[in-house]
Amino acid sequence: MSPRGTGVAGRRAGVAGRAGAAAVALALLAGSATAAEMTPPKDFAIPRAESSPGGVTFSHARHMARVGRCSACHMRDVKMKRGASGPMTMAALEQGRLCGACHDGKTSAGGSVVFSLDQCDACHKD
Ligand code: HEC
Ligand code: HEC
Ligand code: HEC
């Protein structure tokens, strides 16, 4: 093979490698990975509505300790981009969407029932 031919093959291999990495990333996003394979973001404040009774901080670390899988939320309506899941209103939560998928006083995780939306202070601080 000419050196030029080798160069093209080398570049092709490089492209195939990147495509492989993209496929792995997609598999991770699809929730087929275990928790240990991806580091979730640090705790963050959810954008607060004017009428909100107090700021809500979301903790990936504390949730992962209890629910164990990214897909518990990210295969439902929660997007892997802050602010992308639509407005987090109590009406949406009460319909069982977003946080309301678990915080309904019925769903259990890690052996106990998850606290319900009635416990305002458990989410809304200060
Ligand atoms: C208990 C629910 C829940 C679980 C489990 C969960 N997440 Fe999230 N994640 C959220 C919420 C809520 C948001 C913010 C979504 C929004 O604002 O629209 C978020 C956002 C993200 C973001 C975007 C952060 C940013 O700054 O834009 C990434 C990345 C992410 N999660 C990764 C993960 C990974 C990786 C895992 C598993 C290790 C995981 N999440 C498990 C609820 C969860
Ligand atoms: C997949 C189920 C699930 C979803 C979705 C979920 N949670 Fe939780 N959450 C839990 C579990 C399990 C605990 C542990 C406490 C318990 O069992 O009551 C918890 C605990 C908490 C706590 C107390 C611990 C801490 O982090 O300070 C807060 C606050 C909280 N959740 C807020 C939220 C908010 C806000 C959302 C939506 C953005 C949300 N959760 C979505 C399952 C969930
Ligand atoms: C599982 C967590 C959780 C619980 C429990 C909870 N909220 Fe919320 N709430 C949120 C999140 C997340 C938002 C969006 C961020 C914000 O505006 O602070 C929100 C927003 C709000 C808003 C502004 C948006 C809207 O829907 O009008 C009000 C008002 C509100 N909550 C009232 C309450 C009251 C009253 C309770 C108790 C009866 C309560 N919340 C319990 C998570 C919770």
Report the nearest-CA residue for atom 23 of ligand 3.
Answer: 52
Q: How many whole angstroms separate alpha carbon 45 and alpha carbon 33? A: 26
Over residues 78-87, the pLDDT tens digits come to 999 999 999 9
Report the nearest-CA residue for atom 26 of ligand 1.
Answer: 82
Distance 99 CA to ligand 2 centre (A): 7
Over residues 17-71, the pLDDT tens digits come to 455 455 445 545 554 555 445 899 999 999 999 999 999 999 999 999 999 999 9
Q: What is the DSSP letter of 104?
A: S
